[in-house]
């Protein structure tokens, strides 16, 4: 008998994070309630973010299309607004070519909306389509795609409960993805599994950890390399797996000879005995899994690649309770990439240079997408007004970008044409020539894909306000006007059906199956449910073997961040932005190690001025051993004004401003 619950028409998927709990809007309280027996939150539990999922949804809504005339945005009919979008995009394309266009999607849009957005972009002749959330796990996804053939979690949440040891690296799932953490890791740890936490800061996940490795910021890759070295020293490698499922071990082993746990642990800021103990736990476990977060992301991908090496050397891929599992943060972060809202891949992780994949798409669309990858979002926005002259932005606010100082007002003002489709005015709509009122989460129907590779249904609990329309309908209208192709679909189910024909990851799924409780990708032909464990017989590259990397750059200290001197300054740690309850100006704190607090004469609870080269914020000092000496931690939303690209260094002193 199926354990799937009876789904009523008001059940939908939580918009607040990538876990994908099922909930319904409770009109009595204005809050969300969980669905007992749901695929993800089986006990019906929601975290506080999910309970508040629908709060404030009607604030500041756009209710009618706007077109800029004489400098001001004025209300117009949909007909006038869509004509203006078509004129703007066609004008840029005719004057500068399709590569002068950019299309930016978002994880807050459904799979079907992201699919249509990239279809429009590629039908117009450009792969300049992206979604910002992709960059949150870009290094990890790229490392996994290059070596395993897929950036999706290798093992399902249910399967992770089988692990005997977890290494959680640069992530805080106990706080950020609490329902997923409780269902997989907490229950396994309660049953005796070990939890190794690799993070420079102690946080809620650390409370459950059996080992905490807190390296200097930027030394995560070195810490992982030392775990591998200690595993080799202890003879805990899985020789049979290395022989049967890997290539390049000899060269990899040579690169490992350059490490000495006792000597290099100091460079990483770690106790050698703690490294060896953690290595023996992970290497000695029958089944060990890695869970990653944004804290290990770096430009070179050194840490995710080192983690893949750790899994290969210990034989922890393609089996139950193992694998490399990026815990994504934003809702539908996985789905937006699966749909091809990225510049390098068509739907289904198929690289744009893959001629078969282009032909598959062309058979549906009647037009072949370009074979050269487009430009990723940060670089696209940097080229606004230069190479890129026109942009269509769906559900994103790229005018606010804490990682890129060059995303200045001038970039947006210099565009020949900008159209934005969103629910409320924001910094980007301020530069738009056309603003299209969009549908909010509670008004959408369609599908999204969670961090567990589960494709789930959204059901509308309300209608868009005023003359606002469903985003899917607007995209269909635009597709039909901008191209010669057929953009008539039978709603989200029609788009989904087409998408399953061009997206091999979703092949075999049906919209009805998703609505009936969810489908996991990939769904093998004839199987009753999607694959829990990837890479069992072959990796998704199609090969039986995966290649080892090299630790040479890490051994020489050339990996990201290791060559930067911080002097007297402090390294600012943050967690990446999520839509969660944010501290107010009065209670926003910054965690400071007692040694730094003593050096700076800052008392616990004192108001401090924290300054980087970008600005100053005033916060309350929380003196704690949770952060190591030389580092401070604050919530991302309150230190946004300080943060730029790369590592952020700050100075701190007692605030001279009196507390209000």
> How do beta strands 446-449 and 194-198 pair?
unpaired
Closer Cβ to ligand SF4, 255 or 454, answer by number = 454
Q: State which residue has the least CB distance to ligand SF4.
A: 50
* Residue 39 is a binding residue for ligand SF4 (CB under 6 A): no
Region near ligand SF4 per CB under 6 A, out of 13-21, 475-483, 534-542, 562-570: 13-21
Choose the binding region for ligand SF4 from 10-18, 245-253, 270-278, 420-428 (rule: CB under 6 A).
10-18
Closest approach, Cβ 48 to ligand SF4, in A, equals 8
Report in angstroms how near the CB of residue 456 gets to ligand SF4 at its nearest.
Answer: 10
Does 318 bind ligand SF4 (CB under 6 A)? Our answer is no
Indicate the angle between helix axes 111-123 and 471-482, nearest 10 degrees: 10
Is residue 621 near ligand SF4 by the rule CB under 6 A?
Answer: no
448 binds ligand SF4 (CB under 6 A): no
Query: Shortest distance, CB of residue 53 to ligand SF4, whole angstroms?
Result: 6
Q: State the binding string over 273-312 for ligand SF4 (x if CB under 6 A, else -).
A: ----------------------------------------
- Out of 17, 104, 317, 627, name the contact with ligand SF4 by CB under 6 A: 17
Give yes or no for a contact between 20 and 581, defined as CB atoms under 8 angstroms apart: no
* Cβ proximity of 261 and 276 under 8 Å: yes
Contact between 19 and ligand SF4 by CB under 6 A: the answer reads yes
Question: Which of these, 18, 324, 375, 271, lies nearest to 145 by C-alpha position?
Answer: 324
Query: Toward ligand SF4, which CB reaches closer, 147 or 183?
Result: 183
Q: Phi/psi of residue 79, each to 5°?
A: -60, -50
Of the listed pieces 44-52, 223-231, 239-247, 553-561, which binds ligand SF4 according to CB under 6 A? 44-52
Around Cβ 191, how many Cβ atoms within 10 Å? 9
Size of the site for ligand SF4 (CB under 6 A): 13
* Smallest gap from residue 29 Cβ to ligand SF4 (A): 16
d(CA 572, CA 642): 9
| Residues between 164 and 193 with contacts to ligand SF4, criterion CB under 6 A | 177-179
- Regarding 515 and contact with ligand SF4 (CB under 6 A), the answer is no
Paired tokens of 253: 């082993």
Query: Which residues inside 47-76 make contact with ligand SF4, applying CB under 6 A?
Result: 47, 49-50
Please list the residues that pair with 538 across neighbouring strands.
Answer: none
Tell whether residue 14 is a contact of ligand SF4 (CB under 6 A).
yes
Q: Alpha-carbon distance 594 to 589, whole Å? A: 15
Question: What is the Cα–Cα distance from 365 to 125, expressed in whole angstroms?
Answer: 12
CA-closest candidate to residue 5, choices 334, 457, 327:
457
Q: Using alpha carbons, list the distances in angstroms from residue 301 to 287, 298, 530, 658.
A: 25, 5, 29, 44
Q: Which residues of 54-68 are buried (b: 16+ CB within 10 A; e: fewer)?
A: beebeeebbebbbbe
Q: Measured from the CB atom, is 180 or 339 closer to ligand SF4? A: 180
Q: Which is nearer to ligand SF4, 184 or 305 (CB)?
A: 184
CA atoms within 13 A on the CB side of 146: 13
The contact set with ligand SF4 (CB under 6 A) reads: 14, 16-17, 19-21, 46-47, 49-50, 177-179
């Amino acid at each position: 008998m199926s354990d799937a619950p009876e789904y009523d028409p008001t059940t939908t998927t939580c918009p607040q994070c990538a876990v994908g709990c099922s909930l319904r809007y409770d009109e009595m309280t204005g809050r969300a309630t969980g669905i007992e027996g749901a695929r993800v939150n089986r006990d019906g539990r929601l975290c506080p973010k999910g309970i508040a999922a629908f709060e404030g949804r009607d604030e500041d809504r756009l209710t009618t299309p706007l077109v800029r005339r004489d400098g001001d945005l004025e209300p117009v009919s949909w007909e006038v607004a869509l004509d203006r979008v078509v004129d703007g995009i066609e004008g840029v394309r005719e004057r500068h070519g399709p590569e002068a266009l950019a299309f930016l999607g978002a994880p807050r849009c459904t799979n079907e909306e992201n699919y249509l957005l990239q279809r429009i972009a590629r039908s117009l002749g450009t792969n300049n389509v992206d979604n910002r959330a992709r960059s949150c796990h870009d290094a990890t996804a790229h490392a996994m795609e290059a070596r395993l053939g897929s950036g999706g979690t290798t093992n399902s949440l249910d399967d992770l409960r089988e692990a005997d040891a977890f290494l959680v690296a640069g992530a805080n799932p106990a706080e950020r993805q609490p329902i997923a953490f409780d269902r997989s890791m907490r229950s396994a740890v309660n049953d005796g599994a070990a939890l190794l936490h690799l993070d420079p800061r102690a946080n809620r996940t650390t409370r459950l950890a059996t080992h905490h490795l807190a390296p200097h910021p930027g030394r995560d890759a070195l810490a992982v390399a030392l775990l591998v070295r200690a595993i080799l020293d202890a003879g805990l490698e899985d020789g049979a797996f290395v022989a049967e499922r890997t290539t390049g071990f000899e060269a990899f082993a040579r690169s490992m000879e350059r490490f000495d746990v006792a000597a290099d642990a100091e460079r990483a800021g770690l106790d050698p005995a703690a490294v060896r103990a953690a290595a023996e736990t992970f290497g000695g476990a029958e089944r060990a899994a890695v869970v990653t977060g944004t804290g290990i992301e770096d430009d070179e991908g050194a840490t995710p690649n080192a983690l893949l090496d750790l899994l290969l050397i210990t034989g922890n891929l393609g089996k139950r309770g193992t694998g490399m599992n990026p815990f994504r943060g934003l809702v539908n972060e996985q789905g937006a990439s699966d749909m091809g809202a990225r510049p390098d891949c068509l739907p289904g992780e198929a690289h744009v240079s893959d001629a078969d994949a282009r032909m598959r798409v062309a058979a549906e669309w009647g037009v072949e997408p370009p074979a050269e990858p487009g430009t990723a979002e940060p670089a696209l926005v940097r080229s606004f007004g230069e190479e890129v002259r026109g942009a269509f932005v769906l559900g994103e606010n790229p005018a606010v970008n804490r990682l890129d100082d060059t995303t200045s007002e001038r970039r947006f003002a210099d565009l020949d044409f900008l159209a934005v489709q969103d629910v409320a005015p924001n910094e980007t709509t301020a530069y738009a020539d056309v603003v299209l009122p969009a549908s909010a989460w509670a008004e959408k129907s369609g599908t999204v894909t969670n961090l567990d590779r589960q494709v789930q249904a959204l059901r509308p609990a309300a209608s868009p306000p005023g003359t606002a329309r469903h985003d899917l309908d607007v995209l269909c209208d635009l597709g039909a006007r901008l191209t010669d192709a057929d953009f008539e679909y039978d709603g989200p189910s029609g788009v989904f059906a087409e998408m399953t024909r061009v997206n091999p990851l979703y092949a075999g799924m049906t919209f009805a199956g998703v609505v009936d409780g969810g489908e996991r990708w990939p769904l093998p032909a004839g199987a009753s449910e999607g694959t829990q464990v990837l890479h069992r017989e072959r990796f998704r590259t199609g090969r039986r073997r995966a290649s080892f990397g090299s630790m040479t750059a890490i051994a020489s200290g050339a990996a990201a961040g290791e060559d930067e001197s911080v002097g007297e300054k402090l390294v600012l740690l943050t967690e990446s932005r999520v839509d969660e309850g944010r501290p107010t100006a009065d209670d926003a704190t910054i965690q400071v190690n007692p040694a730094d607090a003593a050096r700076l004469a800052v008392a616990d609870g004192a108001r401090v001025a924290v300054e980087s080269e970008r600005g100053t914020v005033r916060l309350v000092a929380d003196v704690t051993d949770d952060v190591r000496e030389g580092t401070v931690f604050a919530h991302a939303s309150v230190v946004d004004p300080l943060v730029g690209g790369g590592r952020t260094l700050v100075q701190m002193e007692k605030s001279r401003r009196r507390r209000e």
